[in-house]
Amino acid sequence: MKKILVVSLMAASLNVAHAASSDYSGLYVGADYVQSDMLDILAVTSLLGPQTSNTESTGYSVQVGYTSRLTENLYLNSEFSYADLGSAKVSGQGLLGPYTGEVSATSYGVNLMPKYHFGGFYVGVIGGLNNLSADVAISSTKSSVDEWKLLTGAEIGYSFQQVGINLGYKSIDDISAVYLGMDYTF
């Protein structure tokens, strides 16, 4: 029992020491692995008949930004981001014959993320204005979107001084994505 108490106290003191000596502000670059819900956008094709195949590719995102310290534990990330949100393809056989569907999307824009740090861990919420560019084709019908949209989301992570790891969720228009990434602060 005493060993558990000693280890717990040591871990707590290390966490407090980490928090007291940490300043996460500065210029940063980041990259994320993105998995979005592109197949959901093509769900309407099921009205044409059963799907015989579907594939979905993952995407990525990159960010460049600056983290400002607002209080002892509260920081604000201001960033420019670019994301390839992936793509999806479906095909099937309907009453009127075979059909295909494809969708792909990218976005770029500016985001703000207030983050609250406790020890090396943090939680943050994301808001931004992003240009969404998406192409959807179902059989011979094609449609494109190229509009500025509101981006929202949330993120959790851990910062090792200059290197951070994160896991988050973002949504822009009808596209939702989860991501796992890293960043480096200079």
Token representation of residue 147? 């509009």
Q: How far apart are CA 52 and CA 37, in angstroms?
A: 19
Proportion of the chain above pLDDT 90, given as a percent: 63
Distances in Å between the Cα of 100 and the Cα atoms of 35, 82, 84, 93 are 22, 28, 22, 9
Q: How far apart are CA 26 and CA 18, in angstroms?
A: 18
Residue type, 18: H
Token representation of residue 184? 């480096």
- Which pLDDT score, from 0 to 100, does residue 30 have? 98
Per-residue pLDDT band at 8 (split at 50, 70, 90): very low
Residue type, 185: T
| pTM score, whole prediction | 0.81
100 or 44, which is more confident:
100
- CB atoms closer than 10 angstroms to residue 172: 24
Residue type, 154: A
Q: Which of 1-10, 68-77, 134-143 bottoms out in mean pLDDT, i.e. has the lowest?
A: 1-10
State mean pLDDT over 58-79.
97
Average pLDDT over the chain, rounded to an integer: 87
State mean pLDDT over 149-171.
96
Residue 11 pLDDT exceeds 50: no
State mean pLDDT over 87-113.
91
Residue 12 pLDDT exceeds 50: no
- Which pLDDT score, from 0 to 100, does residue 78 have? 98
Residues 6+ apart with CB under 8 A from 164: 24, 28, 30, 157, 158, 182, 183, 184, 185
Residue 6 pLDDT exceeds 50: no
